[in-house]
Amino acid sequence: DAKTTQPTSMDCAEGRAANLPCNHSTISGNEYVYWYRQIHSQGPQYIIHGLKNNETNEMASLIITEDRKSSTLILPHATLRDTAVYYCIVRLRGAGNQFYFGTGTSLTVIP
Q: Name which of 28 and 45 has its Cβ closer to another protein.
A: 45
Q: Name which of 1 and 14 has its Cβ closer to another protein.
A: 1
- Helix, strand, coil distribution of the chain in percent, nearest 5: 5, 50, 50
Q: Hey, which residues between 45 and 74 contact another protein (CB under 8 A)?
A: 45-46, 49
Residue 81 backbone phi and psi in degrees, to 5:
-75, -10
- Total residues found in the chain within this entry: 111
* Residue 22 DSSP one-character state: E
Residue 18 CA to residue 32 CA, distance in Å, equals 22
Q: Hey, which residues between 76 and 95 contact another protein (CB under 8 A)?
A: 87, 93-95
Task: Return the residue of 14, 59, 61, 102 that touches another protein, per CB under 8 A.
Answer: 102
Residues in the site for another protein, rule: CB under 8 A?
Answer: 32, 34, 36, 38, 41-46, 49, 87, 93-96, 98-104
